[in-house]
A and B are shown apart, each in its own frame.
Chain A
Amino acid sequence: MSGRLRNAVAVQLFKRVPWLGRQWARRHRFVEATAVPWAAARKPVKDSVVALVTTAGVHLRSDAPFDMADPDGDPSFRIIPSDADPRRLTITHKYYDHAAADRDVNVVLPIDRLREVRDEGRVGGIAPRMYSFMGHIDGRHLATLTGQTAPDVAQRLRDDGAEAVFLTPA
């Protein structure tokens, strides 16, 4: 069985039988961080600029989709303006069931909720851009993620004035 076919079969099994996915996750050797990255909150959330980052594969419909053909995934990211209409967004990610998120993107990227709490004064502001990865990244792409694209996004978040980041995984 070719790598791509094996990957396609595994994806469908894991999506339809969540127990199999959990069993796989228990045995899979994930990359393990050696230390906890830490930055203390310097001021109250109500005075802080908050950014959203997701690994749910969200992107503008007008952007190139993430690569679903490569069994090792896609370590690139997409930039989404924080004032984007959620109806302009779509999801390219075949490694989880995103039927609910397709109907309401706030299931994976809570932009409407963040706007509401900002309008209530519970957060100081929203960073101008959101950043989105596709959460299935393996093999040779791990080095690209940890050495290039993730640090790139971290720098972009700093440049955007983000003081806190809320990351939603998928």
Chain B
Amino acid sequence: MKPPRALSLRYPFGHPMGEAFAVRQQRAILLAALDALETLAEPGAIVSPGWVWRRHRFD
């Protein structure tokens, strides 16, 4: 698959937005993706924030 642009998270399959009811986490993922829409100018570019599943604190 070659998406135009992507945000890549090493999260368990089936959790593209993170954990249930983790509003700050889901919000951070959405905002990071929307930011990538504006900042990535290279076709196929992928952003990897490096957030670790259930360890990263979304303040």
Q: Which residues of A contact B (CB under 8 A)?
A: 18, 21, 30-33, 35-41, 44-45, 50, 56, 96-98, 100-101, 103-104, 106-108, 110, 113-114, 116-117, 122-123, 164, 166-170
A117 and B31 contact, CB distance less than 8 A: yes
B17 and A110 contact, CB distance less than 8 A: yes
8 Å CB contact of A170 from B3, B16, B44: B16
Quick one: given A33-B2, A101-B20, A103-B20, are A45 and B37 in contact (CB under 8 Å)? yes
Q: Is the interface of B mostly helix, strand, loop or mixed?
A: loop
Smallest CB separation, A129 vs chain B (Å):
18
B38 and A41 contact, CB distance less than 8 A: yes
Smallest CB separation, B28 vs chain A (Å):
9
What residues of chain A lie closer than 8 Å to B26, measured between beta carbons?
106-107, 110, 113
Q: Which residues of B contact A (CB under 8 A)?
A: 1-4, 12-21, 23, 26-27, 29-31, 33-35, 37-38, 41, 43-44
Give A41's nearest chain B residue, CB to CB.
Answer: B37
Q: Whole-angstrom distance between the alpha carbons of A33 and B38 in the complex?
A: 24
Quick one: given A38-B43, A110-B26, are A50 and B17 in contact (CB under 8 Å)? no
